[in-house]
Amino acid sequence: MSNILIPVKTYLGKYYPELYISSSQEKYKSAGVDKFFEQRFLVQNNNIQMVVDNTLSGLQFIFAGNEIYISQEMYNHPHINVINSLEESQDKNPRHLYNPDVFSTVAYLMCRNHVTFHIVGELDKPIYARYKSEYETFYSTVVVFNIDTDAEIEIVEEIESSCALNAVMNYILNPGSHTKLTTFYRNNISAVSFLYRNVISQQKSYFNHTLLGKGSSTVVDETKISTALRSNIELFGCVDSLGKDFHSILTVEPSAWDYRIHVDYRNLIRSNDHVTYYPLMIGQEPNRRSSISVNDLDLDTLLPTNKPGAIDKFISDVILQIRTNKLSDITRLHDNKAKFLDFE
C-alpha cells in the first residue's frame, strides 16, 4: 500500500466529475458527500489476498478492502461455496457494475477483490461479517451473498471503521429463502462509513434487517430493495448519532404488485444531531402492504431521572428484533447488542 495520502478525487480520475455531480442528488444533500472528495487517504494498491485465518472461530470473515481473512470453518463448510469472482472469470470487467447514481459503487472502481459466498444449505450458527478500515485509510469492499432456494441464514454485519470505509453488499435471495441480517456500527468518532446493500428478492423470499448505529463523522447507510411476487421485507433500525451525522437511504423497486415491506426506524437525537431518513419508491406507488415509520426521541427534553425509562420504552420494539434462532456461537451477537445499549 502506498504511504502517500491521496485526495479521493485524484484517485477517481475520470470518474470524479460524474460522481461529484451525483453527490448533489437530493438523497445525499444532507450527508455532505461532496466534501469527501477533497479528503486525503492512504489507498490500497496491493494485490488481492484471501487468508484462511486459524485464529478466527465459527463462521466468520473480515474484510479490510483488498485483504480478506476467513475462518477455516467457513472456508471448508459444506454449505458455503466461496468464489472469487475475478478468479472465476478474468474476461469480466468488474467496473461495469459501477453506477454513479449510488456513491458507494465507487467500490467497483477501487476494490480488486469481489467475493461471492454461495449458501447452498442450512447453517447452524450465524455468519459474522466484519468490515473495517485502518487509520488514515480509505478501504473499499465488494461482497455477494447468494442464498439458495429455501435456505435460512443469519448474518451479523459489524462495521468498524477507524478512518474511511466503503462497502457494497449484494444479497441475492432465491425463491423461498429466509435471511435475517443484523448490523452494528462500531465506528470511531472520527470515522466515515458509506454502505450500500443491494437486496434482490425473489418469489416468496423473506428478508429481515435490523440496524443499530452510533454516529461517527459521517455515515451514509443506503439500501436498495428489489421486491418480487409475495416477497416479505422488514427493516428496523435504531440510531444514536452521538451528536454526529447518520443518514439512512432506502430505495424500493418493485417488480410485482403483491409484496410486503415494513419499515420501523427510531432515532435518539440531541440538539446538535444530524440524522435523516430518505425513502424512495421507483416505478409505482407503494401498495397497501407497505408501511414506513420513522420517529425521533429528543433526549434534551428529558429529565435525567426519566431518560433511561423513556429510551427503553422508545426503542423496545426494535431491540426485540435482535434475536436468533441459532443454538451456537450467539454470544458475540448479544455482546454487540449490549454495547449499543450502553447509552451515555
The answer to whether the beta carbons of residues 156 and 339 sit under 8 Å apart is: no
Q: Find the largest Cα–Cα distance for the chain.
A: 63
**pLDDT at residue 85 in the model:** 63
Beta strands per DSSP E along 76-151: 80-84, 114-119, 127-133, 137-147
**pLDDT at residue 2 in the model:** 62
The answer to whether the beta carbons of residues 70 and 55 sit under 8 Å apart is: no
- Domain span at 308: 6-340
Q: Average pLDDT across each block of 10 residues of the chain; the chain has 344 residues. List them in order.
A: 83 93 92 91 80 95 92 97 68 78 92 87 95 93 95 96 94 97 89 95 97 87 96 96 90 90 94 88 82 94 92 96 92 94 79
Q: How many domains does the chain have?
A: 1
User: Is 1 inside any structural domain?
Assistant: no
Closest CA to 45 of 60, 14, 66: 66
Determine the residue type at 170. N
Dist CA 133 CA 293 (whole Å): 32
User: Is 46 inside any structural domain?
Assistant: yes
Closest CA to 194 of 13, 35, 339: 35
Dist CA 105 CA 135 (whole Å): 22
Kindly tell me the sign of the dihedral angle through the C-alpha atoms of 212, 105, 68, 74: positive
26 class by beta-carbon count within 10 Å (0-12 exposed, 13-18 middle, 19+ buried)? exposed
User: Is 174 inside any structural domain?
Assistant: yes
User: Is 333 inside any structural domain?
Assistant: yes
10 Å Cβ neighbour count for 162? 17
Dist CA 199 CA 223 (whole Å): 7
Dist CA 133 CA 135 (whole Å): 7
Residue bearing cell 459503487: 105
Dist CA 76 CA 74 (whole Å): 5
**DSSP H or E segment with residue 86:** helix 85-88
User: Is 292 inside any structural domain?
Assistant: yes
30: cell is: 444532507
Residue 309 CB partners (closer than 8 Å, separation 6+): none
DSSP tag of 121: S
Q: Kindly report the length of the chain.
A: 344
The answer to whether the beta carbons of residues 180 and 154 sit under 8 Å apart is: yes
